[in-house]
Each structure stands twice: as structure tokens, then as C-alpha cells.
Amino acid sequence: MRPNRIINIEDLRLAARRSLPRVIFDYIDGGADGEVTMRENLRAFERVTFQPKCAVRTPQCDLATTVAGIPLSVPFLLAPLGSSRMFYPRGEEVAAAAAGAAGTAYILSTFSGCRLEDVKSASTGPCMLQLYLVGDRGVSGSMMRRAQEAGYSALVVTIDTAVAGLRERDFRNGSRELVRRKPGAMLPFVGQFLARPRWLFRFFRDGGLMQFPNVVLPDTGPMAYADVGGSLEKADVTWDDFAWIRDAWRGPILVKGVHRPDDARRAVDAGADAVIVSNHGGRQLDGVPASLSMLPGVVDAVNGRIEVLMDSGIRRGSDIVKALCLGARAVLIGRAYGYGLAAGGHAGVARAIDILRTDMIRTMKLLGCPSVTQLGREFIG
């Protein structure tokens, strides 16, 4: 990756495609079924237009905010990306370090290839733990206790993954054969790995196909990669679970995967400190509206009682500004930094963050708005 040639997130995407075997790139890049929702996430931002205040001097723009009482230098957090160690060696630690250096938070996926303690140690900023209820309550409770002892600032409970979405690219490009470690079945797909020798060398130097050291099962130890699909089918969260989750976790809880206003109100009643409007980047149920389209209804439903964040489809700093104008406290970025991680490790993630930060400042100056706290619906058409 040549940072001086990386102008936008699409450039990072193309660099990631050049760096990764197809099976790994499609894991980052793909969505569920026909990928209708994934595309709609992008189109929704295109339909929102700005109404700038002109002849306004805006020499500086303040991007600082707080999420659940946690101070951030920019209004975007790094979303949980499972299996980031497949993109780049020690991927979760590398991304967390870049987030901390930028003054923002990193959210660690349950399905991390790195120990949560090591990820927290790698970052100088706040870290949050994303939680799937894999295993039994004892497994999840142990993970939460470890995270609290390591200094994690908040818990992010994902509620939109009763089962894994059907990601058709994964069925076509050899991901099942890779996970199941069946050499004979992998033969038709070997060429894509041999075509990326640098990735292949890093992959084996980093230990090859990982386990999940934060999901420690009573009888077998760390969860194997091949067991993820079956575990997710037993990991669905109900509103009744929030009583014991609240008892187990001492700190802010964010509920991720909210689509509907009534579910947002349920999250308020369950004691959540924030909700994240999210369709999982179009990777779960295809055919749902874009997250940005659902955002205003959720903001109105919670009526200021808790904070509202959103994710899915963010590729530019102007996208973040639009989300904030529509009522989001902050946003989560996923693919945007995942491409950077795959393309260039720490430098790639840092470049993704810098692109979005610089885009935001330029957009806000052109809007005539000096602070993210002053963004509102008057700035959009």
C-alpha cells in the first residue's frame, strides 16, 4: 500500500482486493443473499443532500464527542470485525492500536483471534467488548469478567444474529473448505492463495487458521473456527437475557442491531445506555431498509432518553456528517477500516481514520458548522 496514492476508502478497498485471496476479501466485502441491503446502505447516503450556511467563517471544527460517557476525539468508533487476524497478522491488536492513537474506541468482536487482554494492552484508547451469547451463560460471563478486569469500557450486545446470514460469496469461493481444513476439497481453490504469497507467508507466520481464545468452552477450550456457525444458531439474544447481562456487567451497555422504533423502546426499558441502528452492513437479513433510513425513526422513538448510534454503508466523512445531522451521536465504521487493515496493517487503518476525519472537517467547514454538537436536520435537505 502507498498511502500517498490512497485518496478515499474505495482506494483502500481496491488495495485490499489486491492483497488478499478472494475468499478472505469476499468475507470483508460481501453481504447476504443478493446483497440488496448492502447496496442500499450506500445509496441511502447518496439520497441525503446538504443545505449549507454560507458566508460563515469556520476556521476550526471540533469533532470531539462522548459515547456512553466515554470521551472520543472523533464521532466514529471502529466496529467489531470478526476474524480480523485473517486480514492481517494480529489484526485486532493492530486495529485497536490505530484506534487508540487516533483517540477513538475499538470494539472487539467475540470472534477475535487475539486474546482480549492483548488487544486492550495494544491500545492507548478505550476498548469495548462485543458480545454474542455463545456457549452457555458461564462462557459469556467468563468473557465479560475478563473484559472488565482488563479495563474494557463498555459492552456491545448484538441482537440481530439469531443465525448467520447466507453470504453466497462464501459458498462459492472456498470458505467452508478453508474452515473445515479438508485438503482435498480445498484443491480447486488453492490458486487464489498461491497468487497472494505475501499474505500466505504472513498467515502461516501468524499461526495459520486461528481459534477464538475469548470463547473458552468448558470441555474443549478455545472455540474452533469451524464451530462458529453452529454456535451462532444457539446464541440468539432475547430481551429477557438483559436482566442477567446487566447484573453481570458493571458499566455501559450498547445494544447493536436495532431496526425498529419499538425495539429501541424495548432497549430503553432493558436498561441500555445506547442503541446502534444497524443491519449488520447488509450481512444478515437481506431486504431490510438501509440503516440511515431507519435512523430518524429510532431517534424519535427514544426521545433523548438514551444515545443513538448507527452503522452500515459509511464510506466518507460526509456520510458521518449526514448521520449526525439525522440524530446519531456517533457512528461505527467497519468495512472502511477493514479494507485498510487488509491493505496495510496499522498504516492502512490509520489512513482510513485520517480520510474520514479530514472529510468530516472539510464537509463541516463547507456547511458552516464549527462543531459536531451543532449538527442537526437544518443542514440537510
| β 330-333/274-277 pair status | unpaired
- Domain residue spans of the chain: 3-379
**pLDDT recorded at residue 181:** 59
Rounded to an integer, what distance in angstroms lies between the CA atom of residue 123 and that of residue 98? 7
* CA 258 – CA 276 distance, rounded (Å): 6
Are 317 and 360 a contacting pair, CB within 8 Å? yes
Q: How far is CA 272 from CA 28, 43, 131, 246, 308, in A?
A: 29, 30, 14, 9, 11
Report yes or no: 367 and 52 within 8 Å, Cβ to Cβ.
Answer: yes
3-state secondary structure the chain: CCHHHCCCHHHHHHHHHHHCCHHHHHHHHCCCCCCHHHHHHHHHHHHCCECCCCCCCCCCCECCEEECCEEECCCEEECCCCCHHHCCCCHHHHHHHHHHHCCCCEEECCCCCCCHHHHHHHCCCCEEEEECCCCCHHHHHHHHHHHHHHCCCEEEEECCCCCCCCCHHHHHCCHHHHHHCCHHHHHHHHHHHHCCHHHHHHHHHCCCCCEEEEEEECCCEEEEHHHHHHHHCCCCCCHHHHHHHHHHCCCCEEEEEECCHHHHHHHHHCCCCEEEECCHHHCCCCCCCCHHHHHHHHHHHHCCCCEEEECCCCCCHHHHHHHHHCCCCEEEECHHHHHHHHHHHHHHHHHHHHHHHHHHHHHHHHHCCCEHHHCCHHHEC
**Residue 359: per-residue pLDDT:** 98
Catalytic residues: 280
One-letter amino acid at 79 equals: A
Give the position of cell 470478526.
Answer: 82
Regions in the chain scoring below 50 on pLDDT: none
**pLDDT for 182:** 61
Rounded distance, CA 316 to CA 355, Å?
Answer: 8
Q: What sign does the dihedral 304-309-312-316 (CA atoms) show?
A: positive
CA 312 to CA 315: how far, in whole Å? Answer: 9
Signed CA dihedral, 117, 147, 94, 13: sign only: positive
pLDDT score recorded for residue 194: 87
Structure-block grid coordinates of residue 201: 507467508
Q: Are 107 and 332 in contact (CB under 8 A)?
A: yes
Handedness of CA 24, 25, 28, 29 (dihedral sign): negative
The pLDDT score that the predictor gives to residue 177 is 62
Question: Cα–chain-centroid distance for residue 361?
Answer: 22
- Report the predicted TM-score, pTM, of the whole model to 2 decimal places: 0.95
**CATH number at 3-379:** 3.20.20.70
For the chain, the residue count is 381
Q: Please report, as a single letter, which amino acid is at residue 122.
A: A
